[in-house]
Amino acid sequence: MNIYDVSAKAGVSIATVSRVLNGNPNVSDKTRNRVLEVMDELGYTPNVFARGLGLNTMKTVGIMCSDSSDPYLAHAIYYLERELRANGYDSILCCTGSELVNKRQYFELLLSKRVDAMILAGSKFVEIDSAEDNNYIIEAAADLPVMLVNGYLDAPGIYSTVCDDHDAMYQVAHRLLQSGRRQILYLYTSHSYSGMNKLQGYKDALTAHGMPVRQELIHRCAKDLGEAKELLLSLADSGLTFDAVMTSDDSLAVGALKFAHCRKKSIPEELSIVGYNNSMLSYCTDPEISSVDTKIESLSIITVQSLMKVFGGGQVPGKSVIKADFVQKQTTDL
Amino acid sequence: MNIYDVSAKAGVSIATVSRVLNGNPNVSDKTRNRVLEVMDELGYTPNVFARGLGLNTMKTVGIMCSDSSDPYLAHAIYYLERELRANGYDSILCCTGSELVNKRQYFELLLSKRVDAMILAGSKFVEIDSAEDNNYIIEAAADLPVMLVNGYLDAPGIYSTVCDDHDAMYQVAHRLLQSGRRQILYLYTSHSYSGMNKLQGYKDALTAHGMPVRQELIHRCAKDLGEAKELLLSLADSGLTFDAVMTSDDSLAVGALKFAHCRKKSIPEELSIVGYNNSMLSYCTDPEISSVDTKIESLSIITVQSLMKVFGGGQVPGKSVIKADFVQKQTTDL
DNA sequence: TTGTAAGCGTTATCAC
DNA sequence: GTGATAACGCTTACAA
């Protein structure tokens, strides 16, 4: 079942069939209809390989993410896939984990599949500590568009769409301070671009309020609610006091809440807790956790829209920023 | 950069280069090494389209799921993708939603991409109420392997890997009854194959204990913790009493727990709660929710292993069943 | 062991 | 408006 079968049965040349297939206007309505009819009768489907061979594109973009089972990234994948498909593009998904070697290897693999663009979802793809480790991305961007969702890298062919994490955290800290909190513990999971921005927002808010940045209030912790809880228990046992906890991820906030329950702290009076990403997790607990909505749907939509503009030869800024929303629930009274 | 460039530079024919590429043993070591060397020098990557055109396969399988942001399916996708890749296959992801028309349309779309197999993840793909609506799957299975993860359809070319949901729910109900519970409320989300099995397990356990199946204790509810909570509140207000809640999904169990908090019921004494899937949600709450681990990782691994066997021409059972585990946490004392 | 050449199903460039 | 025909880059008989 190929273009020859259709052309034979319709009594036209393959060129004409191809024209019909591609919406070329230089076909008479009569011919077009006959061809379409035959295609329908024969249940003809064009062969994507043959098409790809000629055009060297398969209307497919590669999506990389470190872990599709993370709620935030799972949503990102969902929206990205939906938007790409709405624009006629398939997506090949690749979950890389967080090892640089694997990220590199999967990146190469997707390139070898001749994807039309790459989307790197999540802030885990830009190395902060060793800039040269990002070179493989920058080099690839010379050949095809690379879209960063919630990550930033300044190079030709790389387009970032990020949430203003700095501002989000600045606002949260600002409002906590305004409401009288004085010892805000800060828990974060990673040294990513996004992670550093969040932390800086927290620090800048303290400074703006004339408060010192106290290192003993800033702690890194695995993205695991059990570990977050244990960390807080041991910090409290060591004599550290705090009246609020800001976290870079909802899972840490859940851990903080478990700590509060464990130590019978009243919430939000004795301890305010703020999560990040406003995921399902923040709705599961009792009380529900106030959290920052990072607009992953908007982020994803803008990413795909930008990509389509790039494909169309349009001008796209190297960085698009959207604002986050603070969603007040029951662990704060701001 | 193609096979001709390599052949020219290595001083051999393209056939020989192709042989080296495909590990054909009929090449002298000397030639093979020279060719490999040249490939490396030139940074040659074979063109997948040209290859696919000849072989009519692209070592790619289509994965469909109704919603990749559901924690259970997100994990399934993660594991499936990982296993497929380990076996040299790419995956094209398609999130279909739950409308039949869309499922059908996306299915067609993936077929037109000439995927080598289809994996349908989750029980939402087999229509229970109208069997003929599954025909499009059965017909497709004549042309390529169709793998069902946690769904069952008996037809040639369709291979199911399922968790024994009936047994899991039977055991849970059995143990609740043994521990003295007498009014077990049952909440479920959907009429899927898996959903019906779970419900039947619950009913059979009641029967085995000589208890009546009371329809007023069985309720369908949207997969939403807020709705589950509201439903229980209104049921309780209407005078219904119950000392345990079994749910077909963790999110409903979270809703049940919120209901319990709301009504100040002690857990598990006054009310036992059991979730399903043992997802992150069941660990977020306080108390943590006892839940059924449905082994999605094993399910995914077996699915891909079976698929590889099918590709290799081996015999694979139409249905593989694995047992679930009950994970006791703090909402039961069984 | 190696080379030649046909074929895979499209799209694109010519003529007409 | 339509038809030949040459790419596109690979695999694989078949020949040598």
- Vertex B41: Cα angle to B39 and B47 (nearest 5): 40
For B69, the closest of A75, A257, A284 (CB atoms) is A75
For β-strands B146-149 and B117-121, DSSP reports them as: parallel
Give how far A95 is from chain B: nearest CA, Å: 7
Residue A204 CA, chain-centre distance (Å), reads: 25
Direct distance between the N- and C-terminal alpha carbons of chain B, in angstroms, rounded to an integer: 66
Query: CB of B165 within 8 A of CB of B149?
Result: no
Q: Locate tokens 């040639």: which residue? A: B156
pLDDT at B133 over 90: yes
- How many residues are listed for chain B in this entry? 334
Q: Quick: pLDDT tens for B301-320.
A: 999 999 999 988 889 999 99
Query: CB of A297 within 8 A of CB of A81?
Result: no
The reply to whether the CB atom of residue A97 sits less than 7 A from any atom in nucleic acid chain D is no
Say how far apart CA A117 and CA A105 lie, in whole Å: 16
For B95, the closest of A69, A78, A257 (CB atoms) is A78
pLDDT at B261: 97
- Cβ–Cβ below 8 Å for A53 and B53: yes
**Residue A146, SS3 per DSSP:** strand
- A1-56 maps to which CATH number? 1.10.260.40
Share of chain B above pLDDT 70, in %: 100
The reply to whether the CB atom of residue B15 sits less than 7 A from any atom in nucleic acid chain D is yes
Q: DSSP letter string over B8-55?
A: HHHTS-HHHHHHHHTT-S-S-HHHHHHHHHHHHHHT----HHHHHHHH
Query: CB of B272 within 8 A of CB of B331?
Result: yes
Say how far apart CA A73 and CA A62 lie, in whole Å: 15
Write the CB contacts of B128 (distance below 8 Å, at least 6 apart in sequence).
Answer: B191, B192, B193, B196
- The dihedral formed by the CA atoms of A280, A283, A284 and A287, expressed in degrees to the nearest 10: 160
Q: Which residues of B165-185 are buried (b: 16+ CB within 10 A; e: fewer)?
A: bbbbbbbbbbbbbeeebeebb
The reply to whether the CB atom of residue B46 sits less than 7 A from any atom in nucleic acid chain D is yes
> Does the bond joining A287 to the residue before it have cis omega, within 30 degrees of 0?
yes
Query: CB of B110 within 8 A of CB of B92?
Result: yes
Helix or strand holding residue A217 (H, E):
none
Chain B neighbors of A69, CB-CB under 8 A: 71, 74-75, 77-78
pLDDT at A97: 86
Count CB-CB contacts under 10 A for residue A323: 12
Query: CB of B196 within 8 A of CB of B203?
Result: no
- Cβ–Cβ below 8 Å for B284 and A225: yes
Show pLDDT as tens, one digit a residue, over chain A (334 residues). 889 999 999 999 899 999 998 888 888 999 999 999 999 888 888 888 898 888 878 788 999 999 888 999 999 999 999 999 899 888 888 888 889 998 998 898 888 888 899 999 999 999 988 889 999 999 999 989 999 999 999 999 999 999 999 999 999 999 999 999 999 999 999 999 899 999 999 999 999 999 999 999 999 999 999 999 999 999 999 999 999 999 999 999 999 999 999 999 999 999 999 999 999 999 999 999 999 999 999 999 999 999 999 988 889 999 999 999 999 999 999 8
pTM: 0.89
Structure tokens at B23: 């590990």
**Residue B222, SS3 per DSSP:** coil
Greater pLDDT, B233 or A56: B233
Mean pLDDT, rounded, of chain B: 94
pLDDT at B197 over 90: yes
Q: Among residues A115, A81, A59, which one has the least CA distance to residue B94?
A: A81
User: Does B300 touch chain A if contact means CB atoms closer than 8 Å?
Assistant: no
Structure tokens at B40: 């490396």
Nucleic strand D contacts from chain A, 56-95, CB < 7 Å: 56
Say how far apart CA A274 and CA A288 lie, in whole Å: 10
By C-alpha distance, the chain A residue nearest B56 is A49
Say how far apart CA B258 and CA B261 lie, in whole Å: 5
User: Does A74 touch chain B if contact means CB atoms closer than 8 Å?
Assistant: yes
pLDDT at B254 over 90: yes
D5 nearest neighbour residue (CA to C1'): A15
- Cβ–Cβ below 8 Å for A93 and B77: yes
Query: CB of A153 within 8 A of CB of A160?
Result: yes
User: Does B287 touch chain A if contact means CB atoms closer than 8 Å?
Assistant: no
Q: Locate tokens 């002298």: which residue? A: B28
Domain ranges of chain A: 1-56, 165-294
Q: Which nucleotides of strand C lie under 7 Å from a protein CB?
A: 1-5, 7-13
Structure tokens at B162: 């399922």
User: Does A113 touch chain B if contact means CB atoms closer than 8 Å?
Assistant: yes
The sign of the CA dihedral B218, B223, B228, B231 is negative
- Cβ–Cβ below 8 Å for A68 and B91: no
pLDDT at A94: 85
What superfamily in CATH does domain A165-294 come from? Response regulator (3.40.50.2300)
Say how far apart CA B205 and CA B259 lie, in whole Å: 25
Q: What is the mean pLDDT of residues B98-116?
A: 87
Helix or strand holding residue B96 (H, E):
none
